[in-house]
Each structure stands twice: as structure tokens, then as C-alpha cells.
Amino acid sequence: MYPQGPAAYDRAITVFSPDGRLFQVEYAREAVKRGTTAVGINYKGGVLLAVDKNVTSDLIVPKSIEKIFQIDEHIGVATSGLVADARRLVEDARVKAQRNRLVYSEPISVSALTRDICDIKQAYTQYGGARPFGTALLVAGVNDKPHLFETDPSGAFTEFTAGAIGMGKREVEKLLEGKFKPNMERDDAIKLALVALNSVSEGKIRAENIDLITIPVGGKYTPVATDEISELIKQLGKELDSHSEKTE
């Protein structure tokens, strides 16, 4: 007797269900939904990535948790989901970026690198003996202008002006739809990212638990100092406090 229902189709990645679904890919998306929230925003002259590392214990050293990775001088990625899976994609992306510099004597385009990453993801949905990568990436970078791409475990990707991945994706995107403005100044974009992360945190965000990087057009991947993040959190003040009071 043959098994019925999803169990009949979710044991192998290469088997479609009758309604055209790949259950292992959908399970990989669930892993992403359980990951920490990451935000990406295009601003006037650059792009930023921000992640609340959601440190759950005072015994954990926050710097030991990596959620944003530098790929090249002009590209960074933020991850949500299985960080170990993301590290594998990050290493492949770094190799492709350096190979492009060696072969063509120019930095790789953000769209080309995103496509290469997603080609790897797609391959792992098509062959037996493998499983999909349980991670989504926000790929941020600059060529002639800022770019921000979101990648899916299926290998699909979409370009955004502002977006989010992880457990708070829908809430953050709803907030961004209401507050994002084209050509925002750098500090305003950082503040918006902090407000977005705070809106889905269990309490008020803490500067030491935030990873935030900016990549300006004509500049390089630059981590934002904890002191600067702390000062911007102070400037936001009541706006962040009002949310933390609601969640208590």
C-alpha cells in the first residue's frame, strides 16, 4: 500500500506532489521563518544591512554570533535560517567574487553574484542525496548604484529597495512600506532599520546585539560602530520605548 498525503512526496527532494509542490523546499522556508530578523535598506548613495542577533543569554559573547558577512569590498550578505548553511554559500560567493577580479580585473556585479548564489541553491533542489539550503540571504552591494536582493531556498531571487528576512519578515515589511522613502539620508535609514528590528524584538533592542553595515556608492563595506548605534538608539528614545512597553 502506498503512503498518502504529504508524506508520500516529502522524502525525496526530486519528487513533486500532484499539485506541483516540493515539500523539502517548503520545509527549508520554515527554517528561514524561525531565524533571526535581518533588514536591508537602500538609502541616498548607498545600502545597509542590519541584524538583531537575538542573544538569549548573558553568557554568550555577542561578537561570536555572525549574521552579516563581507563578500567583497562592495558586497555584503545578511543571513536568516541555518547559519551553517549560509557559511557554505558565503564561501562560494567569496571565491566567485575574487575569481571575477582576477579574470576580468573588475568587481563582480551584485546581480551576477546573486544569480550565482541562487544557481547553487537551485541545484540543491534538483538532485537526489542532497537537501535544500535552509537559509535566505539579503545580498546588498553597489556598482553604479545600490542594489538589494533577497534569495529564497528554492533559488529564486527578487530585488527590493527595502526588505527583510526571518521570523519578523511580514511585520517589518509592513512597517517599511509605511515609513520607507526613496533617497533617505544614511542616518535616517539606519534609524528606520533600528525601529524595524525593535518592532519584532521581545524587548528594546541593545546596541551590542546589533550588527549593522553600510556600503556607500564609491566606497567600501563598512561596519557601523557600536557607539554610533547606541547614540542613534538614544536619539530614537521614546519611539523604541513605546514598543518595548507593549511587548512586556
Q: Is 121 helix (H, G, I), strand (E, B) or coil?
A: helix
- CA dihedral angle for residue 151, residue 123, residue 36, residue 43, rounded to 10 degrees: -20
Question: How far is residue 231's CA from residue 212's CA, in Å, rounded to a whole number?
Answer: 14
Residue 213 in contact with residue 71, Cβ under 8 Å? Answer: no
Q: Is 189 helix (H, G, I), strand (E, B) or coil?
A: helix
| Annotated catalytic residue 158 | no
The three grid cell numbers given for residue 210, joined into one nine-digit string: 546589533
Q: For the range 98-103, what are the long-range contacts, defined as Cβ-Cβ under 8 Å and sequence gap of 24 or more?
A: 98/72, 101/72
Say how far residue 7 (Cα) sits from the centre of its chain.
31
Of the listed 36, 37, 125, 214, which one is catalytic?
A: 36
Find the angle CA(77)-CA(198)-CA(219) to the nearest 5 degrees: 35
Whose CA is closest to 73, among 143, 160, 137?
Answer: 143
Question: How far is residue 117's CA from residue 156's CA, in Å, rounded to a whole number?
Answer: 10
Residues forming the active site: 36
